[in-house]
């Protein structure tokens, strides 16, 4: 009986032991907001997306709408941030995208996206590579001052490259948050689509 209960306990702990980092909240006015208040939860625990042609590459699995999630009011030009539940523990690249939408609650991420921030690896003069996003629990970035006012999805992505020696082995940890941007200008950034922006063989997704 004792052995059985130990075994059951080990099984219960397994998801924790294998838990991956998740972008689960925004940082607004310097304060970390409650998890999943403005960020859409996924329904895949925290298993990474590995297929760049899947629609789950937009906002993660089960996050094609944000019913029950709030939309954060921010101003163009604001410095905001995103926080994780646990520190990033894979080497990789952080990217932040935005997409202008009619309604941030109902938008499915099929609209075009533009990148506003990145934390790529750094190639040092001695040919070694360092990974500034490794170990981080929060990232800060500026809402571009020139984008039009309106509702937006914010797509936060960390591309983990520790296994990315074969196609479909890079792991995408991502979340979408919902924003209502005030102020701003009339900029029209170049847009990419998800899926579409990435190919499994792209440099930086497949690595040598």
Ligand X SMILES: *[C@@H]1O[C@H](CO)[C@@H](O)[C@H](O)[C@H]1NC(C)=O
- Binding residues for ligand X, rule: CB under 6 A, are 43, 61-62, 64, 103, 105-106, 151
- Contact between 158 and 138 under an 8 Å Cβ cutoff? The reply is no
Q: Which is nearer to ligand X, 43 or 127 (CB)?
A: 43
Q: Work out how close the CB of 61 gets to ligand X at its nearest, in angstroms, rounded to a whole number.
A: 5
Residue 18, sorted as left (phi over 0), alpha (psi -120 to 50) or beta, turns out to be: alpha
Q: Which is nearer to ligand X, 101 or 160 (CB)?
A: 101
Q: Which is nearer to ligand X, 73 or 129 (CB)?
A: 73
Q: How far apart are CA 144 and CA 131, in angstroms?
A: 25
Q: Work out how close the CB of 44 gets to ligand X at its nearest, in angstroms, rounded to a whole number.
A: 6
- Look up residue 133 and give its two tokens: 């996003």
Q: At 96, give phi and psi (nearest 5°).
A: -125, 125
Q: Work out how close the CB of 19 gets to ligand X at its nearest, in angstroms, rounded to a whole number.
A: 16
Q: Which is nearer to ligand X, 52 or 94 (CB)?
A: 52
- Contact between 128 and 106 under an 8 Å Cβ cutoff? The reply is no
Q: Which is nearer to ligand X, 62 or 185 (CB)?
A: 62
Q: Work out how close the CB of 151 gets to ligand X at its nearest, in angstroms, rounded to a whole number.
A: 6
Q: Which is nearer to ligand X, 64 or 149 (CB)?
A: 64
- Contact between 90 and 184 under an 8 Å Cβ cutoff? The reply is no
Q: Work out how close the CB of 87 gets to ligand X at its nearest, in angstroms, rounded to a whole number.
A: 26
Q: How far apart are CA 176 and CA 23, in angstroms?
A: 9
User: Do you know the residue count of the chain?
Assistant: 208
Q: Work out how close the CB of 75 gets to ligand X at its nearest, in angstroms, rounded to a whole number.
A: 17
Q: At 8, give phi and psi (nearest 5°).
A: -60, -40
Residue whose C-beta lies closest to ligand X = 62
- Contact between 87 and 53 under an 8 Å Cβ cutoff? The reply is no
């Amino acid at each position: 009986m004792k052995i059985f209960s130990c075994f059951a306990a080990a099984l219960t702990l397994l998801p924790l032991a294998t838990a991956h980092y998740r972008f689960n909240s925004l940082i607004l006015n310097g304060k970390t907001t409650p998890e999943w208040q403005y960020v859409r939860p996924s329904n895949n625990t925290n298993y990474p997306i590995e297929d760049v042609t899947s629609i789950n590459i937009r906002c993660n699995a089960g996050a094609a709408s944000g019913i029950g999630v709030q939309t954060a009011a921010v101003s163009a030009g604001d410095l905001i941030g995103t926080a994780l539940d646990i520190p990033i523990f894979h080497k990789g690249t952080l990217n932040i995208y935005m997409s202008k939408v009619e309604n941030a609650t109902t938008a499915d991420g099929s609209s075009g996206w533009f990148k506003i921030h990145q934390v790529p690896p750094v190639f040092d003069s001695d040919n070694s590579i360092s990974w500034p996003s490794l170990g981080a629990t929060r990232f800060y970035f500026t809402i571009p001052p020139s984008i039009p006012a309106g509702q937006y999805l914010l797509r936060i992505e960390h591309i983990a490259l520790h296994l990315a020696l074969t196609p479909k082995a890079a792991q995408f940890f991502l979340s979408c948050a919902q924003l209502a941007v005030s102020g701003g200008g009339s900029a029209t950034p170049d847009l990419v689509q998800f899926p579409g922006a990435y190919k499994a063989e792209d440099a930086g997704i497949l690595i040598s």
